Amino acid sequence: MHLSETEWKKLQEMVERWRAHQEDGPTNPNPQGSENTWDSCQPRRNIFFLKTHKTASSTIMNILFRYGESHNLTFALPITKFHFDYTKFFSTSSVAGFSAKKRETYNIMCHHMRFSLTEVEKVMPRDTFYFTILRNPITLMESSFAYYKQTVSFLRAKDIESFINNTPKFYQSHRLGSNYAKNLLTFDLGFDNNGPESPKQYKLLTNAVDAIFDLVLITEYFDESLVLLKDALCWTFDDVLSFPLNIRSNTSRKILSEETKEKIKSWNQLDWQLYVHFNNSFWNRVERFGIERMEKEVKELRKRREQFSEKCLDAEVNPSQLKDKSMIPYQSGLAEILGYNLKPGLQKDKQRLCHRLILPELQYSELLWSKQVKTVQRPPLKKFRRA
């Protein structure tokens, strides 16, 4: 199997853009590895987050929602409210209110999409900060199987072992929804998740992603990722404060054998190579940031989270135990997604912040839509679907 002419062109364009980016100097005034100080940096307001699937990206999204809402920033919102016509490549036509003739200034874009740089650049300002998040493909696929069990490639498989032991039987690359079953990160990044596997292709993929994204976070080191994000954006600890959202209950988690893990890694080799590369670059960045400084800031972040947990949260519970039924997270497949009950009797100002910290993704999207989108005609409700 070989890359199509279009795919080759896309990769080469991204690599060339990366080279030009290095020659001209980054648009980010605080380049990677620098140590920001409050005297030398200004908070970033123009931000693009590629929301990858099953990577703790809903928690990152909540951070961006809160920051944008509290600073009166403008979001690029999907016409369908919840995603930019995923699984199609992103197009400006999926942005509510966007017009090439009458350019709106958008500050934040962070809903699910299949990435297309040329289309995103038509929407976002030139000085936009680009970042995304990657997860170990082994645990990602275990999560995907539970969450997307009703999709075409997983539907007939008894369990993840059955699928990975007989992928020719279950996997149908041409069917809608097959992307959830193989190299999901590669797909979200805009590349062919069924593409060829060779050192040359891996290098092209990693160079292309390096060319676009100012920062790549790692799910397994989430707090360290938030510290790096805080530094890169010149934000505060409270700006990146978060509680885990869209979390599965333990009853829907499965322990995998070492044999199954190796088979999943082999099946998702494009994702694996991306993950290994950016896990290494992540820790190189941590070293430039400073190991002791990182440990200190992670400790402070966790302290702040614990303080807000004591102020805000009664308990993390399954959906049936949520007192406010409007706060039930979206449920999918075999996964039971947990939510939070707030402590009773919170003062009004604290109640609002605590509510925003635990507001599920779809409900927060609805809120932002109602506040920002006034005149755009909405498509029929039957066309809405969760990415």
Residues in a beta bridge with 95: 78
Which of the two residues, 258 and 10, has the higher pLDDT score?
258
State residue 206 phi and psi, 5-degree precision. Answer: -65, -40
User: What pLDDT does 380 receive?
Assistant: 46
> Rounded distance, CA 219 to CA 306, Å?
20
State residue 385 phi and psi, 5-degree precision. Answer: -150, 155
pLDDT greater than 70 at residue 262: yes
How many distinct structural domains can be found in the chain? 1
Residue type, 161: E
Residue 7 included in any domain: no
> If 0-12 CB within 10 Å is exposed, 13-18 middle and 19+ buried, where does residue 379 land?
exposed
**How much is the pTM?**
0.89
**Average pLDDT score over residue span 68-75:** 97
Residue 16 included in any domain: no
Enclosing domain of residue 161:
44-383
User: What pLDDT does 251 receive?
Assistant: 85
User: What pLDDT does 102 receive?
Assistant: 78
> Which stretch of 11-25, 74-88, 255-269, 301-315 has the lowest confidence by average pLDDT?
11-25
Q: How confident is the model at residue 78 (pLDDT cuts 50, 70, 90)?
A: very high
Tokens representing residue 109 in the block = 């874009």
pLDDT in tens, 131-188: 999 999 999 999 999 999 999 999 999 999 999 999 999 999 999 999 999 999 999 9
Q: How confident is the model at residue 62 (pLDDT cuts 50, 70, 90)?
A: very high
pLDDT in tens, 83-142: 999 999 999 999 999 988 877 889 999 999 999 999 999 999 999 999 999 999 999 999
Tokens representing residue 76 in the block = 């690029």
Three-state helix/strand/coil letters over 67-79: HHHHCCCCECCEC
Contact 313, 346 (CB under 8 A): no
> Rounded distance, CA 225 to CA 162, Å?
34
Residue type, 128: T
Tokens representing residue 373 in the block = 């989108």
As a whole number of Å, the CA-based R_g of the chain is 21
Cα→Cα distances 28→22, 129, 131, 232, 235, Å: 12, 7, 12, 9, 14
DSSP string of 195-236? ---SHHHHHHHHHHHHHH-SEEEEGGGHHHHHHHHHHHHT--
Residues in a beta bridge with 313: 342
Residue 364 included in any domain: yes
User: What pLDDT does 187 receive?
Assistant: 97
Residue 378 included in any domain: yes
pLDDT greater than 90 at residue 312: yes
Residue 357 included in any domain: yes
State residue 356 phi and psi, 5-degree precision. Answer: -65, -35
CATH number of the structural domain spanning residue 65: 3.40.50
Beta strands in the chain (DSSP E): 47-50, 108-109, 129-134, 215-218, 313-317, 339-342
> Rounded distance, CA 246 to CA 259, Å?
28
User: What pLDDT does 348 receive?
Assistant: 87
Of the candidates 265, 315, 282, 285, the residue with the CA atom closest to the CA atom of residue 140: 265
